[in-house]
Structure 1
Amino acid sequence: MFQQYTKEFAYNLKLSYPVILGMLGHTFVAFADNIMVGQLGPTELAAVSLGNSFVFIAMSLGIGFSTAITPLVAEADGAGNQGAGKNALKHGLVLCTLLGLSLFGIILLCKPLLHHMEQPPEVVELAVPYLELVAFSLVPLIMFQAFKQFSEGLSQTKYPMYATILANVVNITLNYLFIFGSFGFPKLGVVGAAIGTLASRAIMVLFIWFLLNRKEKFKPFVTHFNFKNIEKKMINKIISLGFPSSMQMFFEVAIFTAAIWLSGVLGKNAQAANQIALNLSSMTFMVGMGLSVAAMIRVGNQKGLQNFRELKRIAESIFFLTLILEIVFATLFLVGRHWFPTIYLDVDDIMNQADNTEVIIIAAKLLLVAAFFQISDGLQVVVLGALRGLQDVKVPMLITFVAYWLIGFPASFYLGLYTDLTSTGIWIGLLLGLTASAVMLYLRFKYLIQKLISE
């Protein structure tokens, strides 16, 4: 019984591990920023958290939109149609570039909101200059996403991983030089972290284009674009897939962003603790994201072949693998919840000792809740990937809205601000939203696949 699923594990992992490492690379940029900035103190860590809260919302829209490219390329690849694959990349690249520029502009317009969010004033003062630079890094990041999703649509998941590894090396090096003023460089604190992020993302998009351009099998796809010939039909196709996908990701990221803002109302220590728990959860979530891409590629290929019984078996094997891995992560969080927060702070800092101790205590409580939502979070994102492979995006968009904003957020708001649970209450709301999402999305997948098989 189980063997029909477990025999797919090796190929699923082979396909997803470069994506997981690449996605972890994105998170590791934030992880490196958090650890390095955390050495300056809880105020600086809270400022980076507040600045990134705006960027993460915009990033979710860009990354979510770019996922429209993968199923189109995977279907074209399954059907052996190279022209359709190149067309999907060209139109996707145009739309992703325009979206990146638009999101940068929107964040600049939203900057005054920082002063009206009941956040600690010393945190806001540091967050503003950080936000300006990191917002601009969205332009190269979302252009990179277009190439990444195209490459993954051809089941070539290694090249985006290489680009992300290089970006991390650049980011950590520049962080070290500019945050702390090492080797005679100016000591810029949180602004130094923003410079590292911007430079690393610019290098990332140039490097992936260089890699794809060098490979003979990719060269026909990534060169000689005729940008004068833009087809309205293809633009509409990508938007019809990309817009609901971006909204799905937006609804989830926005509830986590709301958790950052609610934590800020509780004070800078609550916000710093929230940032630690969120960063650790983001890293394990990237494993689910990687398996989600594997589900999207494999389901997209089987859709191209019109083999729906095999599609069901393959998708369920990925769901089963995800469940096993997420239980392992849940155990790690339970066992290490008191130790993990100490990585982010200078525990020997006498000046900030009382604040740091409080941050560690709050973060340990949050990681207790995070241990349980690992399972819901991993499963909901992988089922979402399978639904994207089927090019079913509109109903999942409604499901994620209901789960996060009609179930999760009201619970977070009430439990966090109006009960003694405070920060822990905010995260219980997140757990409820993620669990509702996982259950409803799985029921949607089951309904669709039965319908396709019976037809």
Structure 2
Amino acid sequence: MLGMLGHTFVSLIDNIMVGQLGSAELAAVSLGNSFIFIAMSLGIGFSTAITPLIAEADSEKNFKKGKSSFKHGLFLCTVLSLALFVLILLAKPLMYLMKQPEEVVILAMPYLDLVAFSLIPLIIFQGFKQFSDGLSLTKYPMYATILANVVNVVLNYILIFGKFGFPQMGIVGAAIGTLASRVIMLLFLWYILKNKKKSKAYVTNIRLFVLNNSMIKKILNLGFPSAMQMFFEVAIFTAAIWLSGLLGKNPQAANQIALNLSSMTFMVAMGLSVAAMVRVGNQKGLRDFVELRRIAFSIFLLGLGLAFIFAVLFLIFHNMLPKIYVDLNDVSNFSDNTEVVSIAATLLIASAIFQLSDSAQVIILGALRGLQDVKIPTLITFVAYWLIGFPISFFLGKEEAYGSFGIWLGLLVGLTSAAILLYIRFNYLTKRLISQEENNI
């Protein structure tokens, strides 16, 4: 959980520090990150294919299979990171076609260049992280993300505000901090893994360009649907950013605050999703499907319990939390900042309501990935988010309807639909596997 939260803390620090500059700067980071989030979802989603393969090989004590899975996964993550960087650069002109506030677009352009480049070390890091998680070595990626956050905070403070003789660079300074922290994060994790007995043989002497077509195909068959699952969910939240931009810079800045806070709690559920993926993958390798089901339901219940606590906290503090992101003592931006806080507080009520369904859907997805069942869940996520959730966000999110709150009502319906449908899928699959195993006995 802490490892997953590390990625979001980088964004949290960027948002809090940039928010002190004004609502236009915060909206610019939101717009730039909307492109980054889509690319990240594809990269992180694809890398999750590595974890169940490593977990299964680890429980079978099959080193050769595990190293092959890691090597091919790392190669594909590297290629994907380069492709996504180029695609974001090519997609930049879309900002001018999206009817976003002009001052926001101008600020977002230079920020996007640097953060797009940081995707390369981030997605390669994800390859190492997912491998490490598959071996149940989850604390080392956590150490790496903690270090990255320390570096990011220090560099943000120095470069955004121009401290210790450095020039005041604003949101470009935040982008430089993000890039540097992600490079250090990757190098640090590799250094740890190559010095640990359990992982050393995997991460050294890698013949990266000696490839096996069948293993590449296997990882692509797992990774591509997993990437699309995360893409469909992240894309609907990104669509919420763009829909908010149609309402103006203040609704867009408010949406960014609510989205950033919701991302924090989502990453806790993502941590449990990885746990579900690893433990289900272990039990799949052992072919103990009764224990697999028991473990999965234990993780589902833990996730729902934590989500309930987060929901209560959002409801209690929905008026206070947005104030962290803006400077209400800034006289020149006081009216804008007050409006941002007011809208964000309303959105956090919607976020509180969907905490349970958001947590459930991502943890169940992790369990299904552990079973290496990815194609039907991909279809489920597309239906839930884009055929059910997005039309509601689009129609209720218009200024003459419910505005920003209407956008988030669509997110609520989409997440709840996904949670219900994915649970039905997991329940059906595990009961069938148990029945087949009993018949074989």
Please name the residue that 1:384 is paired with. 365
Among residues 319, 324, 327, which one is paired with 2:300 in the alignment?
Answer: 319
2:151·2:177 contact (CA, 8 Å) conserved in 1?
yes
- Rounded Cα–Cα distance in structure 2 between residues aligned with 1:347 and 1:25: 28
Among residues 185, 193, 217, which one is paired with 1:204 in the alignment?
Answer: 185
Please name the residue that 1:6 is paired with. none
Amino acid at match of 2:181: S
Amino acid at match of 2:397: G
Amino acid at match of 1:322: G
Please name the residue that 2:289 is paired with. 308
Amino acid at match of 2:389: G
How far the C-alpha of 1:217 sits from its partner, in A, is 2.0
Amino acid at match of 1:240: N
5+ unaligned residues in a row in structure 2: which ranges? 437-441
- Rounded Cα–Cα distance in structure 2 between residues aligned with 1:103 and 1:350: 41
- Rounded Cα–Cα distance in structure 1 between residues aligned with 2:207 and 2:346: 55
Matches within 5 A, 1:237-276: 237-276=218-257
Please name the residue that 1:9 is paired with. none
How far the C-alpha of 1:22 sits from its partner, in A, is 1.1
| TM-score (ref. length: structure 2) | 0.98
Please name the residue that 2:317 is paired with. 336
* Mean Cα deviation higher: 23-32 or 216-225: 216-225
How far the C-alpha of 1:82 sits from its partner, in A, is 1.0
Among residues 22, 35, 40, which one is paired with 2:16 in the alignment?
Answer: 35
Matches within 5 A, 1:370-381: 370-381=351-362
Q: Is the aligned partner of 1:214 residue 2:179?
A: no
Amino acid at match of 2:59: G
Please name the residue that 1:78 is paired with. 59
| TM-score (ref. length: structure 1) | 0.95
How far the C-alpha of 1:188 sits from its partner, in A, is 0.6
Matches within 5 A, 1:56-455: 56-417=37-398, 419-455=400-436
How far the C-alpha of 1:379 sits from its partner, in A, is 0.3
- Rounded Cα–Cα distance in structure 1 between residues aligned with 2:17 and 2:116: 20
- Rounded Cα–Cα distance in structure 2 between residues aligned with 1:40 and 1:174: 16
1:351 aligned counterpart, secondary structure? helix
Q: Is the aligned partner of 1:26 residue 2:7?
A: yes
2:198 aligned counterpart, secondary structure? coil
- Rounded Cα–Cα distance in structure 1 between residues aligned with 2:64 and 2:154: 41
How far the C-alpha of 1:419 sits from its partner, in A, is 4.1
2:122·2:186 contact (CA, 8 Å) conserved in 1?
yes
Q: Deviations over 1:49-87 (max 9, x none)?
A: 000000000000000000000000000001010111111
- Rounded Cα–Cα distance in structure 1 between residues aligned with 2:379 and 2:414: 13
- Rounded Cα–Cα distance in structure 2 between residues aligned with 1:258 and 1:43: 19
Please name the residue that 2:35 is paired with. 54
Q: Deviations over 1:199-243 (max 9, x none)?
A: 110111111000001112211111011224200011000000000
- Rounded Cα–Cα distance in structure 2 between residues aligned with 1:186 and 1:355: 27
- Rounded Cα–Cα distance in structure 2 between residues aligned with 1:226 and 1:214: 19
- Rounded Cα–Cα distance in structure 2 between residues aligned with 1:292 and 1:244: 16
Please name the residue that 1:13 is paired with. none
- Rounded Cα–Cα distance in structure 1 between residues aligned with 2:219 and 2:38: 21
Amino acid at match of 1:198: L
Instruction: Count the aligned residue pairs.
Output: 436
Q: Which runs of 4+ in 1 moved over 4 A?
A: none
Amino acid at match of 1:267: G
Amino acid at match of 1:186: P
1:345 aligned counterpart, secondary structure? coil
Q: Deviations over 1:100-144 (max 9, x none)?
A: 000000000000001111100000000000000000000000000
Q: Deviations over 1:395-450 (max 9, x none)?
A: 00000000000000000000001643100000000000000000000000000011
- Rounded Cα–Cα distance in structure 1 between residues aligned with 2:266 and 2:205: 37
**CA separation of 1:125/1:82 partners in 2, compared to 1, >3 Å: closer, same or farther?**
same
Please report the RMSD computed on the Cα atoms of aligned residues, expressed in angstroms. 0.7
2:247·2:399 contact (CA, 8 Å) conserved in 1?
no
Please name the residue that 2:439 is paired with. none
5+ unaligned residues in a row in structure 1: which ranges? 1-19
- Rounded Cα–Cα distance in structure 2 between residues aligned with 1:259 and 1:234: 37
- Rounded Cα–Cα distance in structure 2 between residues aligned with 1:286 and 1:208: 20
2:23·2:336 contact (CA, 8 Å) conserved in 1?
yes
How far the C-alpha of 1:247 sits from its partner, in A, is 0.0
